[in-house]
Amino acid sequence: MTRLPLGLLAASALALLTTGAIADTIKVGVIGPFSGPFANQGRNFQAGIDAWMALNGQAVGDDEIEVVYRDLPAADPARARTLAQELVVSDGVQYLAGVYFTPDALAIAPLLEEANTPLVIFNAATSAITKQSPLIVRTSFTLPQTSAPMAAVAAERGLKRVVTVVSDYGPGADAEGAFSTAFEAKGGQIVEKIRMPLAANDFSPIMQRVRASGADALFAFLPSGPPTLAFARAYNDNGLKGAGVTFLSTGDLTQESDLPALGASVEGFLTTFHYSVAHDSPENKSFVEAAGKAIGDPKLLTFPAVGAFDGMRVIAKMIEATGGEQDAAAAVEAVKGMRFESPRGPVTIDPETRSPTQTIYLREVAKAGDGFENREIQSFADTPDLGWTK
Ligand code: PHB
């Protein structure tokens, strides 16, 4: 051990005292799927958080952020509520964050006011979530926001008859509603609305129904992870492409981490979404570098990482605005209207919906190097959460 001369020790102790540089620790409790079939989505939360820290540091003023992780492998509202309660009561977190699935966010919402704790949602994307508590802010997207632009694309491309196919829960209902309303407003026809159980994993019967309907296209939403991978495969295995049924979906179905497995079978698929790993900007370049390093293999990167990265940006601003004090209402107030250049493009936290207003991109799965990417080919700037009604 090296010994410091006494005089130096005293000097550094004095410096600490006079600058008051003894940091308070502010804990952020992050709930997400860190194990099980959706584990890569949780790893992306962590990669986004680590990337934020690597690029911006762990300190906000005199305070230091400490992240406490809790694993919730699948949608499980009762467990989500217990985890949130434990984080607040036993771990003393000042912020709750993360949350992949909508039912979990809905279960946590009623706890927030009494706990004087904001919830910053990194993913869960049903529009109505932010209505359940004034202490919720979202940094991901909403399904009405990503789905309605696809109706404009379908109409522009001359598609007339579409079947919607969605998972039967909040985000699916949002996707179905927003796409159908927008497509019908443009003179299109919804031939059939198919809803599948959230846990469905055999999609052949559904593909046969779509084929039998005589539709020009299907429009789909399922939550990203193993189900989306199986769904895209079933489209190909059941010969829908050959039958002339165009595949349209939100970007959840072609997330980058699934592209190596899906390969050429999804080349040309059109999706609408808020983020592509291939987005061309300096902000995204440094984000992808930092998050790729954090996750170990850059091929595993996908959209929950950007929700988490911007979520940490929002939490840092909340800590700064409250001087580290626990004042949930003031923390949320401070980020209403916040504008920033995200790795996805420009984002504003809408003061009313507390969800991002952002560019939604039309992307096409295209060859890039020895793999595939979601190539942005058209953009819908300043798209708000279109699901919000008073
Ligand atoms: C949700 O449950 O809100 C959810 C999950 C995964 C997605 C989109 C939405 O890809």
C-beta of 250 in contact with ligand 1 (< 6 A): no
State the distance from the centre of ligand 1 to the C-alpha of 206, rounded, in angstroms: 21
Tens-place pLDDT, residues 94-127: 999 999 999 999 999 999 999 999 999 999 999 9
Parallel/antiparallel/unpaired status of strands 339-342 and 345-349: antiparallel
Query: What pLDDT band is residue 22 in, cutting at 50, 70 and 90?
Result: low
Give the pLDDT score at 9.
Answer: 47
Scored b (16 or more CB within 10 A) or e, 193-205 reads bbbbebebeebee
Stronger pLDDT, 16 or 125, i.e. the higher one? 125
Which mutation among 119, 122, 123 tests ligand 1's pocket best, with the greatest number of atoms within 8 A of CB?
123
Tens-place pLDDT, residues 217-256: 999 999 999 999 999 999 999 999 999 999 999 999 999 9
Give the pLDDT score at 16.
Answer: 47
Q: Is 60 exceeded by the pLDDT of residue 142?
A: yes
Average pLDDT, the chain: 94
Atom of ligand 1 nearest to the CA of 129: 3
SS3 readout for the chain: CCCCCHHHHHHHHHHHHHHCCCCEEEEEEEEECCCCCCHHHHHHHHHHHHHHHHHHCCEECCEEEEEEEEECCCCCHHHHHHHHHHHHHCCCCCEEEECCCHHHHHHHHHHHHHHCCCEEECCCCCHHHHHHCCCEEECCCCHHHHHHHHHHHHHHCCCCEEEEEEECCHHHHHHHHHHHHHHHHCCCEEEEEEEECCCCCCCHHHHHHHHHCCCCEEEEECCCCHHHHHHHHHHHHCCCCCCCCEEEEEHHHHCHHHHHHHHHHHCCCEEEECCCCCCCCHHHHHHHHHHHHHHCCHHHCCCHHHHHHHHHHHHHHHHHHHCCCCCHHHHHHHHCCCEEEECCEEEEECCCCCCEEEEEEEEEEEEECCEEEEEEEEEEEEECCCCCCC
Query: How long, in residues, is the chain?
Result: 390
Atom of ligand 1 nearest to the CA of 224: 10
Q: Is 70 exceeded by the pLDDT of residue 17?
A: no
Give φ, ψ of 164 to 5 degrees. Answer: -95, 140
Give the pLDDT score at 8.
Answer: 47
Which mutation among 252, 257, 272 tests ligand 1's pocket best, with the greatest number of atoms within 8 A of CB?
252
Give the pLDDT score at 160.
Answer: 98
Tens-place pLDDT, residues 55-69: 999 999 999 999 999
Atom of ligand 1 nearest to the CA of 250: 10
Which residues neighbour 101 within 8 Å (Cβ) at sequence distance 6 or greater? 74, 75, 123, 124, 223
State the distance from the centre of ligand 1 to the C-alpha of 102, rounded, in angstroms: 6
**Order of strands across the sheet with 59-60?**
59-60, 63-71, 24-32, 95-98, 119-121, 136-138
Give the pLDDT score at 389.
Answer: 80
Query: What pLDDT band is residue 54 in, cutting at 50, 70 and 90?
Result: very high
Q: Is 70 exceeded by the pLDDT of residue 10?
A: no
Tens-place pLDDT, residues 166-177: 999 999 999 999
Q: Is 60 exceeded by the pLDDT of residue 15?
A: no
Give the pLDDT score at 89.
Answer: 98
Q: Is 80 exceeded by the pLDDT of residue 294?
A: yes
Q: Report all structural domains of the chain as residue ranges with CATH numbers, in order of start.
A: 6-141+280-354 (3.40.50.2300), 143-273+360-383 (3.40.50.2300)
Among 207, 353, 360, residue whose Cα is nearest residue 271: 360
C-beta of 124 in contact with ligand 1 (< 6 A): yes
Give the pLDDT score at 18.
Answer: 47
Give the pLDDT score at 355.
Answer: 98
Among 155, 151, 130, residue whose Cα is nearest residue 142: 130
User: Would you state the structure tokens that stand for residue 142, as one six-digit string?
Assistant: 């909403």
C-beta of 44 in contact with ligand 1 (< 6 A): no
305 neighbors 277 (Cβ within 8 angstroms):
no
Q: Is 60 exceeded by the pLDDT of residue 164?
A: yes
Give the pLDDT score at 21.
Answer: 52
Atom of ligand 1 nearest to the CA of 252: 10
The pLDDT > 70 percentage for the chain reads: 94
Mean pLDDT of 30-45: 98
C-beta of 252 in contact with ligand 1 (< 6 A): yes
The pLDDT > 90 percentage for the chain reads: 92
Q: Is 60 exceeded by the pLDDT of residue 2?
A: no
C-beta of 126 in contact with ligand 1 (< 6 A): yes
C-beta of 50 in contact with ligand 1 (< 6 A): no
